[in-house]
Amino acid sequence: MQQNRRLAIAGTLSLVLIAGAAVVVGAVSGAAPGGAAFPSGTDSSATQTPTPRPAPAAPPAPVTVDTFDRAARSLDDPTSIWVVVNKLRPLNPQDYEPDDLVDVPVPHTWEPLLRQEAADAIVAMFDAASAEAGLELASNSAYRSYSAQEEIYDGDDLSTARPGYSEHQTGLTMDIGAVSGECSLDACFGETDEGIWLRDNAWRFGFILRYPADKTPVTGYEYEPWHFRYVGVELATEMHDTGFSTLEEFFGLPAAPEYG
């Protein structure tokens, strides 16, 4: 009898211990004793909404800074390699003659003279045309004095400049052709191998094609694919890289279709 009572008490204690353990396990796991889940320390009926974040701002567009100094050289001084000569901008004085003219040792029709810096650049360009493309270039005309321009000027203001208004008088310009004479001083020169090479490579040596085909309203002259003007490698490169083909447009000068 006593033994049966002890067994009954022990069984009751076991049931109590098992129930207590279930309560503890449920509290730890976030579940009620009956198996229903509940979040610890929160209202199970509440729904959390994520806090919206603003969209990241678009990065600013890169800013292009023009570092080329357009005022580095004079556009008016006839001794400047940037001097701009056109129908509105005569040389000053009009009978200007460079004091550093030298013979240019290249094939030629008439013996060419240029200012020393331009002469050195022409020689380098002619050598490169030969070495890189097997082309033989020649000078058809280079420096012309005021008096020489008086003899050349024929009254056609689209094809020849009046004395005192000619780039040839600066000693920085050469009319270039092929040694063969093909299309010399003719628009078809632009379609020859020599003309194409010069068009694409002259800037490397400091020269620009001064009178492009589509710029007559700006320059005042018809297309002259043979007429190359020395402005220095720095300026020629900047014009090439920025897409400017005339000095007037690059420096923001008025177009010069007619004499003022």
For the stretch 14-61, pLDDT in tens is 433 334 433 333 433 444 444 444 344 445 445 566 667 767 777 776
3-state DSSP call for residue 176?
strand
Q: Give residue 143's pLDDT.
A: 98
Alpha-carbon distance 186 to 223, whole Å? 9
pLDDT at 13: 37
pLDDT beyond 80 at 249: yes
Is residue 179 scored above 60 in pLDDT? yes
Q: For residues 43 and 161, which has the higher predicted lDDT (pLDDT)?
A: 161
Task: Supply the DSSP string of 198-221, one letter for each residue.
Answer: HHHHGGGGTEEESS-TT-HHHHSS
Whether residue 173 is predicted with pLDDT greater than 70 in this model: the reply is yes
d(C-alpha 42, C-alpha 230), whole Å = 84
- Percent above pLDDT 70 for the chain: 77
pLDDT at 59: 74
The DSSP symbol for 163 reads T
Calculate the average pLDDT of the chain: 86
Span 78-125, pLDDT tens digits? 999 999 999 999 999 999 999 999 999 999 999 999 999 999 999 999
In this model, does residue 7 exceed pLDDT 50?
no
Of the two residues 21 and 62, the one the predictor is more confident about is 62
pLDDT surpasses 60 at 195: yes
Domains belonging to the chain, first-starting first, are: 1-39 (no CATH), 101-250 (3.30.1380.10)
According to the model, what pLDDT value does residue 31 have?
41
Distance CA 210, CA 203 (A): 11
Average pLDDT over every residue of 159-188: 98
pLDDT at 101: 98
Residue holding tokens 């060419």? Answer: 112
Compute CA 207 distance to the chain's CA centroid, rounded to the nearest angstrom: 17
